[in-house]
């Protein structure tokens, strides 16, 4: 069995994908935590005295994030108040169980916990949405709604930052995905450690340079309780492809993950290129690149019995709305008055 690369005399327990070093348990804990501390201090991520919400799913990433932030906050005196924020999508057999794990985190780490549900925010659970839309496009709803739900929760908690457990593998995957899709606007911002969504609360990713393997190993050696069931609905197919591609590349050379992140950070997007500018949704005032935000369009579709409305391009959405209006003359009776706005604004 190889010895620890740091010459502490102990047997190594894991090989770090990031550096190739073989480390013993204690040295691994030290470098793992120190690297996150270094990431936080180098980016000047948190102002002392602020409140930070941790987006907590009960999974490995957010559990490790909560544990390490608490530990570093005490060790290095960041002076932060940490709170947990969870979203209940309403997925039976998945989220109901993982929320129990989050409640365990709340007790173990002595943090306040707030849970917001899709049902309360949007009037629909994911179970109900899947009944309407089927299992093909449901991840679009879930992703769009979760992002907004987290922001709303952060606002209700009156926090200064919203931190999420996105790890290095996630970020590299997103860079690849945005390149494959030619999505320059997202490519430009997806590697930022801190993103400011207009007047919203800054989102921060303290684990952006932390490999997934090291997170799993850290949680295992620290004996952290986390939830590991896959979502019961079909996974996001496109992301799945990017993930497989990345994992295959990682097998050849684990440093590709850091290299992809670095490339993403160094990219300069041609300024002549027209990028959508951020504005406010005319319906819910949430930050959006369109007049009506994606969440409102998706919701409108669900409420009108046109669940596919928000899936795909906006030109198609326009066509669908016009067609539907002609058929139903919908704004006269059964429809809520929001759709008058929708037509007026020509979404």
Partner 1 sequence: MNNNAYNINIFSGGAELLFDNKRHYNIDLPNKDTWKLGDLLIWLRDNLLSERPELFIQNNSVRPGILVLVNDSDWELMVSSDLWYLICSLCQILCKYAPCP
Residue 232 carries which DSSP code? S
Of the pair 244, 275, the CB lying nearest partner 1 is at: 244
Of the pair 68, 219, the CB lying nearest partner 1 is at: 219
**Contact call for residue 95 and partner 1 (CB under 8 A):** no
Contact status, residue 78 vs residue 46, Cβ threshold 8 Å = yes
**Contact call for residue 150 and partner 1 (CB under 8 A):** no
Under 8 Å CB-to-CB from 60, ≥6 apart: which residues? 215, 216, 219, 224, 226, 228
**Contact call for residue 89 and partner 1 (CB under 8 A):** no
Record the tokens describing residue 4, joined without a space. 């620890």
Which residue in this structure is represented by tokens 């209940």?
88
Draw the binding track, 246-275, toward partner 1 (x: CB under 8 A; -: no contact). -xx-xx------------------------
C-alpha span between 25 and 143 (Å, rounded):
36
- Binding part of the chain for partner 1, among 88-96, 151-159, 221-229, 279-287 by CB under 8 A, reads 221-229
Residues 51 to 80 in contact with partner 1, rule: CB under 8 A: 60
Interacting residue with partner 1 among 148, 236, 288, 324 (CB under 8 A) = 236
**Contact call for residue 245 and partner 1 (CB under 8 A):** no
Contact status, residue 37 vs residue 72, Cβ threshold 8 Å = yes
Interacting residue with partner 1 among 106, 147, 152, 213 (CB under 8 A) = 213
Of the pair 22, 36, the CB lying nearest partner 1 is at: 22
**Contact call for residue 142 and partner 1 (CB under 8 A):** no
Burial of 122 (0-12, 13-18, 19+ CB in 10 A): buried
As measured in angstroms, the least distance from the Cβ of 273 to partner 1 is 29
**Contact call for residue 238 and partner 1 (CB under 8 A):** no
Interacting residue with partner 1 among 81, 119, 189, 239 (CB under 8 A) = 239
**Contact call for residue 1 and partner 1 (CB under 8 A):** yes
**Contact call for residue 9 and partner 1 (CB under 8 A):** no
Of the pair 178, 288, the CB lying nearest partner 1 is at: 178
As measured in angstroms, the least distance from the Cβ of 246 to partner 1 is 9
Bridge partners of 113? Answer: 84
Closest CA to 292 of 344, 239, 235: 344
- Binding part of the chain for partner 1, among 72-80, 231-239, 275-283, 285-293 by CB under 8 A, reads 231-239
How distant, in Å, are the alpha carbons of 44, 124, 142, 188 from that of 148?
A: 25, 14, 10, 20
**Contact call for residue 228 and partner 1 (CB under 8 A):** yes
Of the pair 240, 305, the CB lying nearest partner 1 is at: 240
How distant, in Å, are the alpha carbons of 70, 108, 156, 214 from that of 75?
A: 9, 17, 29, 21
Taking residue 27's Cβ as centre, other Cβ atoms within 10 Å add up to: 19
Under 8 Å CB-to-CB from 201, ≥6 apart: which residues? 53, 151, 154, 155, 159, 160, 161, 162
**Contact call for residue 93 and partner 1 (CB under 8 A):** no
C-alpha span between 61 and 166 (Å, rounded):
7
Interacting residue with partner 1 among 88, 151, 212, 300 (CB under 8 A) = 212
**Contact call for residue 287 and partner 1 (CB under 8 A):** no
As measured in angstroms, the least distance from the Cβ of 19 to partner 1 is 13
As measured in angstroms, the least distance from the Cβ of 187 to partner 1 is 19
C-alpha span between 202 and 73 (Å, rounded):
19
C-alpha span between 340 and 221 (Å, rounded):
57
Closest CA to 89 of 43, 150, 25: 150
Residues within the interface to partner 1 (CB under 8 A): 1-2, 11-15, 22, 60, 170, 173, 212-213, 216-217, 219-220, 226, 228-230, 235-236, 239-240, 243, 247-248, 250-251
């Amino acid at each position: 069995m190889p010895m620890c690369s740091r010459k502490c005399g102990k047997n190594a327990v894991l090989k770090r994908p990031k550096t190739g070093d073989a480390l013993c348990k204690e040295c691994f804990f030290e470098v793992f935590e120190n690297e996150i501390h270094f990431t936080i201090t180098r980016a000047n991520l948190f102002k002392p005295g602020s409140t930070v919400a941790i987006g907590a799913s009960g999974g490995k990433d957010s559990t490790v994030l909560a544990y390490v932030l608490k530990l570093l906050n005490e060790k290095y005196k960041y002076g932060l108040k940490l709170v947990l924020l969870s979203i209940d999508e309403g997925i039976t057999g998945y989220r109901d169980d993982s929320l129990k794990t989050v409640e365990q985190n709340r007790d173990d780490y002595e943090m306040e916990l707030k849970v917001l549900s899709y049902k309360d925010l949007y009037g629909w659970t994911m179970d109900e949405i899947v009944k309407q839309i089927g299992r093909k496009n449901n991840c679009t709803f879930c992703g769009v709604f979760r992002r907004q739900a987290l922001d709303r929760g952060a606002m209700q908690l009156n926090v200064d930052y919203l931190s999420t457990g996105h790890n290095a593998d996630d970020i590299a995957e997103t860079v690849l995905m945005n390149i494959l899709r030619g999505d320059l606007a997202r490519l430009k911002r997806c590697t930022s450690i801190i993103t400011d969504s207009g007047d919203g609360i800054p989102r921060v990713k303290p684990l952006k340079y932390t490999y997934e393997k090291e997170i799993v190993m850290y949680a295992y050696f620290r004996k952290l309780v986390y939830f590991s069931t896959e979502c019961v609905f079909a996974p996001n197919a496109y992301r799945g492809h990017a993930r497989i591609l990345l994992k295959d590349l990682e097998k050849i050379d684990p440093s590709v993950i850091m290299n992809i992140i670095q490339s993403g950070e160094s990219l300069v997007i041609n300024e002549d290129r027209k990028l959508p500018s951020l504005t406010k949704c005319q319906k819910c005032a949430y930050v959006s690149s369109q007049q009506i935000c994606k969440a409102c369009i998706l919701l409108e579709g669900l409420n009108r019995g046109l669940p596919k409305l928000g899936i795909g391009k906006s030109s198609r959405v326009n066509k669908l709305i016009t067609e539907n209006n002609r058929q139903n003359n919908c704004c006269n009776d059964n429809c809520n008055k929001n759709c008058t706005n929708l037509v007026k604004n020509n979404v």
